[in-house]
Amino acid sequence: MKTVSASEKTPEITLEEFNSVWWAWNTHMHTVIASQFSKAWKPDFERIEIDTPDEDFLEIDVCETNSNKPVVALFHGLEGSTDRHYMANLMRELKRHEFSSVAVNFRGCGSRLNDQRRFYHSGATDDYRTVFRWMESNFPKKEIYAVGYSLGANALVKYLGEEGRQSRVHKAVAVSPPYDLKEGSIRMQQGINRLYEYRFLKTLVEKLEKKRERFPDLPVYQGNSIYEFDDQVTAKLHGFTGADDYYHQCSSKHFYGDVNVPLLVIHSKADTLCPIEFAPFDDLTENAKIQTCFTNEGGHVGFLSNPPGWLYRVILQWFKTD
| Per-residue confidence band for 95, with pLDDT thresholds at 50, 70 and 90 | very high
Confidence of residue 168 (pLDDT cuts 50, 70, 90): very high
At residue 11 the predicted structure's pLDDT band, cuts being 50, 70 and 90, is confident
pLDDT in tens, 154-166: 999 999 999 999 9
The reply to whether 292 falls in a domain is yes
**What digits encode the pLDDT tens for the residues 138-152?**
999 999 999 999 999
73 and 136 together in one domain: yes
Give me the pLDDT at residue 53, please.
Answer: 98
- Do 173 and 197 share a domain, yes or no? no
Residue 157 has a pLDDT of 99
Read off the pLDDT of residues 258-288 as tens digits, 9 standing for 90 and up.
999 999 999 999 999 999 999 999 999 999 9
* 194 shares a domain with 226: yes
Please count the structural domains in the chain. Answer: 2
Domain of 241? Answer: 183-250
Same domain? 241 vs 100: no
Query: Taking the model in full, what pTM does it have?
Result: 0.96
Is 1 inside a domain boundary? Answer: no
My answer on whether 189 and 164 are in the same domain is no
Identify whether residues 172 and 54 lie together within a single domain.
yes
Question: Dihedral of the CA atoms 304, 284, 91, 251 (nearest 10)?
Answer: -100
Return the pLDDT at 21.
Answer: 95
Which residues are registered as beta bridge partners of 133?
A: none
| 203 falls within a domain | yes
29-87: pLDDT as tens digits = 999 899 988 999 999 999 999 999 999 999 999 999 999 999 999 999 999 999 999 99
- 61-71: pLDDT as tens digits: 999 999 999 99
- For residue 42, what is the domain's CATH number? 3.40.50.1820
Mean of pLDDT values over 302-311: 97
The answer on 284 and 209 residing in a single domain is no
What is the reported pLDDT for 274?
A: 96
Burial group, residue 121, by CB count within 10 angstroms (0-12, 13-18, 19+): buried
Q: Is the pLDDT of residue 5 over 60?
A: no
